[in-house]
Amino acid sequence: MDLTVLLVKGLIILVIFGITLLIATYSTYAERKVAAFLQDRLGPNRAGPFGLLQPIADAGKMFFKEDFIPAQASKWLFILGPCLAMLTALMSSAVIPFGDSIRLAWDGTNYDIPMQAIEINIGVLYIFGVVSLGVYGIMVGGWASNNKFSLLGAIRAASQNISYEIALGLSLIAILMMTGSLSLRAIVNEQATFFEWNVFTQPLGFIIFLTCAFAECNRTPFDLPECETELVGGYHTEYSSMKLGFYLFAEYINMFVSSAFISSLYFGGYHYPFMNAVHDGLTGSLGEIAGHNIATAIGTVVFFAKIFFFIFFFMWVRWTIPRFRYDQLMNLGWKSLIPLSILNVVVTGAGLLYDIKYTTWLIVVVMVVLALTSNARAPKSQAAPQRA
């Protein structure tokens, strides 16, 4: 790899880094606006037009607050906690393919530069590695605070994250079996036609993955590590200034990365229906290079639209569904999601042996039937109360 390529890569990394931070910043604004909309309020509307400068005001406020370290805390671990949380959040955006490729003509040859910071063949493994390190940030911070609420929050977070990580990993395996590659770009390219999007071939896997993504991001209904009604602030009770900001910011970056990950794994990434026709039309009318680049740009816009939809979905769920109880959370993770995802792998595998891709719909149909008849099958004494 020569220096020019490395420089271009560095530039792409810088741009994606900036976009990640920008989206995370404005997710806080979006979250408050969505919450306000769902609760019939106005939301932030003082700083700038429509309150658009609110995130910047918030960041400024965080910088000028006292950087407080409790006397009994382990000082360096206390500082390390939020740094680790932020570092793992920032590292994970690297392998997501944001678009097809930019085509540049140089000395008569065409160079295709993929719209992806780091194009490696183990993208999925990389994200898993980085995401599983994320729990250290919360664990270290909560333990170092030397506060009972923080410690409880940290232990809950660790327990919850590792439990849901198993189901997360297992639900992905079905996709890997169909694609035969760990590269995110290969997985995206596999979903070129609309009805081969993994959400149609892997409906159960998608639901499991989505649930686990919520749990991994510590978002409602799985936000037990920081649940205000029991634990004050959870693992960040003792934090202030930008250290607290890092924890909150890391959560929004994780949300963005999860949304991007879900879009590229299950919703075809930068693909959209009739994409090839649009690409051919553009290259036909505008020429090889300009047409290709514009087609790439449209794909990227579509990809971001999908990401924004999922970020909105995260918020929508947060302001709709109440929090789980801890035993319910653990039972859902261990006794429902893990067996289901193993079943999903087996059924997908059995189908793939005969080249049938849509076998997991069988499980979905069976589950829906079971759910609909569950009231009739229950013993009379334990039957669910009838709604009036």
Dist CA 132 CA 115 (whole Å) = 25
Q: Which is nearer to another protein, 166 or 317 (CB)?
A: 166
Query: Among 250, 18, 35, 221, which Cα is nearest to 134's?
Result: 250
Q: Which is nearer to another protein, 177 or 286 (CB)?
A: 177
Judged by CB under 8 A, which of 53, 56, 342, 347 binds another protein? Answer: 342
Q: Is 334 in the site for another protein (CB under 8 A)?
A: yes
Residues 176-195 that bind another protein (CB under 8 A): 176-177, 180-183, 185-186, 189
- As beta bridge partners, residue 111 has 104
Q: Is 77 in the site for another protein (CB under 8 A)?
A: no
Judged by CB under 8 A, which of 83, 133, 278, 286 binds another protein? Answer: 83
Q: How far does Cα 36 stand from its chain's mean position?
A: 23
Q: With contact defined as beta carbons under 8 Å apart, do 262 and 210 qualify?
A: yes
Dist CA 155 CA 84 (whole Å) = 17
Dist CA 200 CA 174 (whole Å) = 13
Residue 371 buriedness (CB in 10 A; 0-12 / 13-18 / 19+) = exposed
Q: Which is nearer to another protein, 316 or 326 (CB)?
A: 326
Q: Which is nearer to another protein, 33 or 279 (CB)?
A: 279
The position carrying tokens 């970056």 is: 253
Judged by CB under 8 A, which of 46, 49, 109, 353 binds another protein? Answer: 353
Binding mask 226-255 for another protein (x = CB under 8 A): ------x----xx--xxx-xx---------
Q: Is 289 in the site for another protein (CB under 8 A)?
A: no
Q: Least separation, in Å, of the C-beta of 20 and another protein?
A: 10
Q: With contact defined as beta carbons under 8 Å apart, do 128 and 191 qualify?
A: no
- Is the C-alpha dihedral spanning 187, 190, 191, 197 positive or negative? negative
Residues 136-155 that bind another protein (CB under 8 A): 143, 145-152, 155
Q: Is 330 in the site for another protein (CB under 8 A)?
A: yes
Q: Is 113 in the site for another protein (CB under 8 A)?
A: no
